[in-house]
Amino acid sequence: MLIRDATVFGIGDTDVRWTHRHITECGRGLRPLPGEDDIDARGGWLLPGLHDHHVHLRALAAQEGSVRLGPPQIHTATEFATRLRQADADLPPQGWIRGVGYHESVAGDLDRAGLDRILPNRPIRIQHRSGALWILNSRACDLLGVHDCALPGVERDPAGYATGRLWRMDSWLGGRIGAPAPDPTAIAARAAALGITGFTDATPGLGQDDIDAFADSVASGRIPQRLHCMAPPAVLDPGTERFSLGPTKILLDDHTLPSLDEFTARLRELHEGGKSAAVHCVTRVQLVLTMAALDSAGVRAGDRIEHGAIVPAEAMAWLTEHAIPVITQPHFLVERAAQYAAEVPDADRPDLWRLGSLIAAGVGVAAGTDAPFGGPNPWPVVRAAIGRDSDSPTTEAISTRAALALFFGRPERPQLARTIAPGQLADLTLLATPPGEFTDALDTELVAATIVDGRPVYLAG
Ligand SMILES: [Zn+2]
């Protein structure tokens, strides 16, 4: 297949040909061979295919049937109660309400009793915007046997009764409710239309069944993109085309941090078993602990920091020296602006979602949407990275090219950019506009074609 008259990222005007999965020729004046399909790019910008380096596909697909119960849709306790009662009225008598996006700025530290006052009879589960917490009403707790569950994630009041707040218990909850895995077809198609050619699923604790189901979705084409999936060490690679296993996700919570010795031992065990670690770091203490543990355990290629929401200036040289990339979410500063303005202490502001200063210091940086906890569209991420202002003396805004390149990394080495050249995989995102008009185009009209593994998975109307 051939794309003619494109403006190739980093090269300029040229035509690009590929055969099967790999690019075979780049040059000017290439003409279609007999029987060869071609796309006239009309000067459109041709990019290495965008890879979303941090996303939660299943949670994103599950959101389709969920009720939004936090900002920007819901701001007050009254709006919250009204929306829940409306969802109840809209549903048949049987079945759950699944709420998402809750934040305590709406109605405080919600618990079982608070939800019972609004809707006592229908089982409700509501996910906190962080993804760390589910809040259930009493009906839901009874149905699932929460009171008898001995896992440490079950929050209890001083008398020992479950409060309905479940921390980091997604797998337990999923198993108990027994709902089938949501179909990823629609979200994958939407991502293809936005130019996404690959995903890294960063969900912690996926089991063999989850991984097999993901591989099956890729093999059947329900997910036409490439999928790199974080997984615990025991999970086996199903050996499917366009599917690969990634590092093991490690979650840290400030109130349950492991000791340095425990954390070091865990990293060492992962590395010895041939796995890298992707460590969730959203606070200063989480990053500092991770650096100390990696100093003791040693670094393995593929180790990475997820989020890096707070990176102190002193940490940047360490990250560069150890070649550990930070997988960042520049759009959170836009999506969560009101919350950050209210909650982030002045002392933390210069270190909040660093971007330009990380790149200037030589730290490897890549971007992920973190959908559904952030918006799933990569273009607002790019715009947020370009349009950043900064509370710090450092410049955090980056160029359009650098912002796009946040999505060019290899799935297994996010800090290493893929290029468009003979021998490279034909994963390509063709924009409808040339580079100069990029910033004026609307997201929905931006992408002309999305090619994965040499095959068009999206062509604009
Ligand atoms: Zn995440």
Whole-number Å distance, alpha carbon 310 to ligand 1 midpoint, is 15
Whole-number Å distance, alpha carbon 228 to ligand 1 midpoint, is 14
Token representation of residue 7: 């403006």
Whole-number Å distance, alpha carbon 202 to ligand 1 midpoint, is 6
In this structure, the answer to whether residues 334 and 397 fall within a common structural domain is: yes
Confidence at residue 387, expressed as pLDDT on a 0 to 100 scale? 85
In this structure, the answer to whether residues 447 and 366 fall within a common structural domain is: no
In this structure, the answer to whether residues 247 and 148 fall within a common structural domain is: no
Whole-number Å distance, alpha carbon 204 to ligand 1 midpoint, is 9
In this structure, the answer to whether residues 259 and 372 fall within a common structural domain is: yes
Whole-number Å distance, alpha carbon 4 to ligand 1 midpoint, is 38
Confidence at residue 245, expressed as pLDDT on a 0 to 100 scale? 98
Confidence at residue 393, expressed as pLDDT on a 0 to 100 scale? 57
- What is the CATH number for 427? 2.30.40.10
AA identity, residue 194: L
Whole-number Å distance, alpha carbon 114 to ligand 1 midpoint, is 28
Confidence at residue 137, expressed as pLDDT on a 0 to 100 scale? 97
**Residues 308, 306: Cα–Cα separation, whole Å:** 6
Token representation of residue 297: 């355990």
Strands (E), 300-354: 304-307, 326-328
Confidence at residue 272, expressed as pLDDT on a 0 to 100 scale? 97
Q: 343: how many CB neighbours lie within 10 A of its CB?
A: 10
Token representation of residue 348: 């933390």
**Residues 456, 192: Cα–Cα separation, whole Å:** 9
Whole-number Å distance, alpha carbon 434 to ligand 1 midpoint, is 33
Of 177, 207, 231, the one marking the end of a domain is 177
Of 177, 200, 235, the one marking the end of a domain is 177
Residue 6 pairs with which residues in a beta bridge?
A: 14
Q: Walk along the chain (461 residues) in steps of 10 and give the mean pLDDT of each run.
A: 95 92 95 94 97 96 90 94 95 90 94 97 95 95 95 95 95 84 92 98 93 97 98 96 98 94 98 97 97 98 98 97 98 91 91 96 98 95 86 78 97 97 97 87 87 97 80
Confidence at residue 395, expressed as pLDDT on a 0 to 100 scale? 82
Q: Angle at which helices 313-321 and 284-297 pack, to 10 degrees?
A: 30
Whole-number Å distance, alpha carbon 437 to ligand 1 midpoint, is 32
Token representation of residue 94: 């049987």
CB within 8 Å of 144: residues ≥ 6 apart: 136, 173, 176, 177
Q: Total domain count for the chain?
A: 3
In this structure, the answer to whether residues 138 and 172 fall within a common structural domain is: yes
In this structure, the answer to whether residues 265 and 364 fall within a common structural domain is: yes
CB within 8 Å of 274: residues ≥ 6 apart: 233
pTM of the model as a whole? 0.88
Whole-number Å distance, alpha carbon 205 to ligand 1 midpoint, is 12
Token representation of residue 302: 């593929």
Q: Are 116 and 128 in contact (CB under 8 A)?
A: no
AA identity, residue 366: A
Structural domain harbouring 429: 1-47+420-461
Instruction: Give burial (CB, 10 Å; 0-12/13-18/19+) of 152.
Output: exposed
Least Cα distance to 75 among 42, 102, 112, 115 occurs for: 102
